[in-house]
Every structure is written in C-alpha cells, then in structure tokens.
Amino acid sequence: MTERKPDEISPDSEDCKRDNLIRLGEFRTLWTAYAQSVLGDQLARVALSLLVFERTESAGWTAATYALTTLPALLSGVLLSGLADRFPRRTVMVGCDLVRAVIVGLMALPGTPLPLLAGLLVLAQLAEAPFGAAQGALLPSVLGAHRYERGQRVMLITHQAGQLVGFAGGGVLVVWLGSHVSLGLNAATFLLSAALIRFGVKARPVEGAATGQKRVHLQVRSAVALIWADPRLRSLVALGWLAGFIVLPEGLAAPFAEEAGGGGASVGLLLAAHPAGMVVGAAVLGRTGVGDDRRRRLLGPLAIGANLPLVFYWAGPGVGAAVLLLMLSGVCSAYQITAGATFVLLTPVDQRGQALGLARSGLIAMQGIGVASGGVITELSGSSAATIAGAGLLGTLCAVLVAVGWARARDTGTGTIPLRA
C-alpha cells in the first residue's frame, strides 16, 4: 500500500474544519445534484411499480421490476466501477448522468412494451455503479481527509431523508402526475445533475497511476488483492456487509405487518423506521465532541448494536414495538458512514473507484441474499418475526467476530491516512 503525501492528509486550514460544508462551492454542487437525483429515483421506483402493476395486475412482475432497480449494480459494480480510476471522475459522472437521462427518457414514452422497459431499466442501472464510485472517490479530493466523513454523513442523511419523503408522498405524487410524467421528471433530474457537475465541479486529471488503457480484469484483480492484503480494509468491508442481516426486516415488512395485526399503513411505518434511526444516529455521531478516532473505535460495538435489537422479534412485538426496535437498529447502523469513509481514505487514490465498487457490489449481494433467504425461511417456518429474530442472532454473532477483527486490525498497516486524527 502506498504512503499518502503529507499535503493529502492535512486539512486546508484549521478554520476549514469548522466550515459549513454547504458553503463550499464544489460540495454544494455535488450535494444539490445528489439530493434532487435521490428524490427523482424514489419517484421513478414508485412509478415503475404502479405502471407494471397496472399493465399486468401481477405482484410477481411488480416485485421483479423493483428488483431490477438494484440487481444490475452487482455486475456493473465489478466491471464498470474501474472507469472512475481510468478516466477523470467528473467526466465519468457527467457521462453516466447523460446516459441515464436518455434511457429513462425513453422509458417515459407512453406505450413502451414491458420487455423493452425492463431492458432499458437494466441499462440505466448499469450506469449507477461507475457514477457512485466516481462520486465516492472524488469527494476526498473536494473536501480533504478531515472533512470527508462529514461530507459522507451529509450525503447519507440526504439519502435517508429522500427515502422518507419517497415513502410518505411518492405514491400520491405519482397518482397525481401519472407514471410517464414521473419517469420524465426523473430523466430531467439526471440532466440537471449532469449540468451542475459539469459547470460546478473543477476538472481534475486521472489521479495516481491509473490510465485509460488499464484492462478491467487487471483492475479487479488488483483491487481484490489490495483489500485482501490489508486487514483493516478486510474488516471494514465485513462491517459494511453486515447490512445483509439488518436489511431483512425491510424485505419482510409486509408479511410481518399482517402477522402483527397491522394494516397497510403500518408497512410504511416499518419501512421508514430504520432510515429515520440512521438520520438520528448520523446526527449524534457527527457531534463536535465525537472525534474521528473515537468513531472508529465505536465501529465494532455499534455494528453489534445494529443487529442485536432484531433478536427481540422473538418476543412477537406489535407494530409499535417493532418500529422502536428498527429505529434503534438504525441509530447504531449509522456506523456505516464512518466505516465507508475510513475504507475510502485507506485506499490508494488511484484504486479508490474500483475498490469502492467491489465493496458496494458485495454489499448489494449480501442484502439480496439476506432478503431472498429470509423469504424462503419465512415460507418454511410460517413466521416472519422468528425469521427476523434468527437473522438478528446470527448477525450479532458475526458482528462480534468482525468487531474483534477490526479492534486488532485498526492500528496495523501504514497510510494512506493515520487512523489517529
């Protein structure tokens, strides 16, 4: 692993550490582009679900369409995230936005056949991974190491708030506007994002040793070797992948609500509880009195705390108690911000895009496996509460092991940033 240069690990000035991040021009541009894109994506997910259900009246096809909004990221995360290391990151982000604007615009055309709609959806989602990798790798250059985690925290709160708004009002808005107009608005958000990034973010050359000629398989192999060779990176990836256990209540929200005697409205409450908890947790961990080193020491205990509340589903809680358990899990799950930020800052600058893409692809895979396995087990056991409790127990045991590994690994290795701020 390469050493980071001294000017790369120090803040621009002591005053910068106290700056309001939104006052920083480039970050404000990236945040604005991201915020309106999140709202557009939530609107599009609801619009697609309603559009497919209206045409097919099939819950299976509707669920499959929703899955297509996330599953292609598995492939593109491995094969396309390296673009963020091979080409200027602003160029990659603008290109991905323009591609998605065109594709989603075609999806918005009335009368588009469902097979074509599904194919276009897959193509649009393939562009998400290189965009996310480029954005994640660019933020440290925009903010500096000492402000990067704060920036990630703002982005996560924005994402969770966008989800809450989407859960609360997305369906009503889509019914009012119509599915095709809603998809058109999502296409417009990509165009606006591309314009904001193109004219509001400074052009930067390809960093480090990355070149446009480097082969994809060599990039992937190099990123895998990098993560595997560093116990800190391995532990941070494992901490992130624990989300595969924590996501299960989301996938089983509808059957659990019925099992607990709740109505349709309770499903929305159950889905919103965890994001709401993460917003609270991000705010608490972001307090001035909680330093970077302390947050990194808390990664293990918080990972355990994110899984442990799910064990109490064995007591057969009602909807209200389950909402409280999910909020508590969400508060502790805010550790993911620190884990992700530390992972990026410990990765050499010329490999950040590919390494981040691999980590995110694994995270998506673990979440998909967790939800799919939970569905099968619930079918066999007949109890979604028992399934969630079992996942919480297994997740807690895994979190203990990962926490021990992180405690041993965190002070090992050299650069790129010192873990002690």
Which of 200, 234, 252 is where one domain is finished? 200
Statement: residue 60 has pLDDT above 80: no
Distance (Å, whole) CA 105 – CA 91: 21
Residues 44 and 172 in one domain: yes
Q: In degrees, to the nearest 5, what angle opens at C-alpha 231 toward C-alphas 226 and 235?
A: 105
CATH of the domain at 336: 1.20.1250.20
Predicted confidence (pLDDT) at residue 18 exceeds the cutoff of 70: no
Query: Rounded distance, CA 196 to CA 177, Å?
Result: 26
Our CA dihedral for 159, 160, 164, 169, rounded to 10 degrees, sits at 0
Q: Which tens digit of pLDDT belongs to each residue from 258-291? A: 888 876 667 778 888 888 898 899 888 877 556 6
By residue range, what is the domain housing residue 114? 20-200
Let me know: does 336 contact 313? Beta carbons within 8 Å: no
Q: Is residue 118 part of a domain?
A: yes
Cα 259–261–265 angle (5° rounding)? 105
Instruction: Based on the fold, state whether residues 196 and 221 are members of the same structural domain.
Output: no
> Per mean pLDDT, which of 28-42, 184-198, 251-265, 289-303 is the most reliable?
184-198
Q: How many helices (H) and strands (E) does the chain have?
A: 22, 0
Radius of gyration for the chain, computed over Cα atoms and rounded to the nearest angstrom: 21
| pLDDT at residue number 14 | 39
Both 128 and 233 in a single domain?
A: no
CA atoms within 13 A on the CB side of 273: 23
Residue 88 lies in a domain: yes
Task: Judge if 41 and 127 occupy the same domain.
Answer: yes
Residue 12 CB-density burial (10 A; 0-12 exposed, 13-18 middle, 19+ buried): middle
| Chain centre distance of CA 294 | 23
Query: Are 182 and 240 in a shared domain?
Result: no
Weakest mean pLDDT among 102-116, 167-181, 379-393:
167-181
Of 146, 173, 200, which residue is a domain's last?
A: 200
Distance CA 155, CA 347 (A): 20
